Amino acid sequence: MVWAHNSHLGDASATEMGRMRDELSVGQLCRERFGDDAALIGFGTHTGTVTAASDWDEPMQIMQVRPSCADSYEQQFHLARVPRCFVDLHDNDALREALSEERLGRFIGVIYRPDTELYSHYAQAELPAQFDAFVWFDETCAVRALPAFDAVHEQPDTYPFGV
């Protein structure tokens, strides 16, 4: 199992990142290598909070997520008025067809720039080709980081057993 942000985990060939900029993603490479043995699962939200930084090497902070952009997949899920759900895009032909129209998809990762969100965090995508399933939360809450510790000096001596 690999956890990654949607832009890394989704199949880039189903987005403008792959189609227009020839970018690859871990999800695309997994699909090419493992076929149906790989399951690409994306996540989406309309609004809430996120733990992210405003730029590389900046400290993380809890930020308010702007409401989803009109004509985005996230806006379509929000308009359905389902607070949270898991959508199987792999084995549901009717749903795949209904969601196959290319739309904007939002990508929030370790960096979040609300002031330039449309440019910085949205790309054209075809959701059912990008993911096998999609997890939806209409409103999210930011994760809280665990306190940092010095891994060398604060861990008990467990060599050679590891735990």
pLDDT digits (tens, 9 = 90+) for 120-147: 999 999 999 999 999 999 999 998 877 7
Which of 108, 90, 107 lies closest to 99 in space, CA to CA? 90
Domain locations in the chain as residue ranges: 6-45+69-136
Residue 149 pLDDT: 63
Residue 69 has pLDDT above 70, yes or no: yes
| Residue 75, token pair as written in the block | 């806006």
Could you tell me the sign of the dihedral formed by the alpha carbons of 25, 112, 137, 126, in that order? negative
- Mapping DSSP onto H, E and C, the string for the chain reads CCCCCHHHHCCHHHEHHHHCCCCCCHHHHHHHHHHHHCCCEEEEEEEEEEEEECCCCCCCEEEEECCCCCCEHHHHHHHCCCCEEEEECCCCHHHHHHCCCCEEEECCCCECCHHHHHHHHEEEECHHHHCCEEEEEEEECCCCCCCCCCCCCCCCCCCCCCC
Q: How many CB atoms lie within 10 A of CB 54?
A: 14
Which of 5, 3, 1 lies closest to 107 in space, CA to CA? 5
Which of 46, 70, 63 lies closest to 113 in space, CA to CA? 63
For domain 6-45+69-136, say whether CATH 3.40.1660.10 is its number.
yes
| Residue 8, token pair as written in the block | 């890394």
pLDDT band (50, 70, 90) for residue 91: confident
This prediction's pTM: 0.84
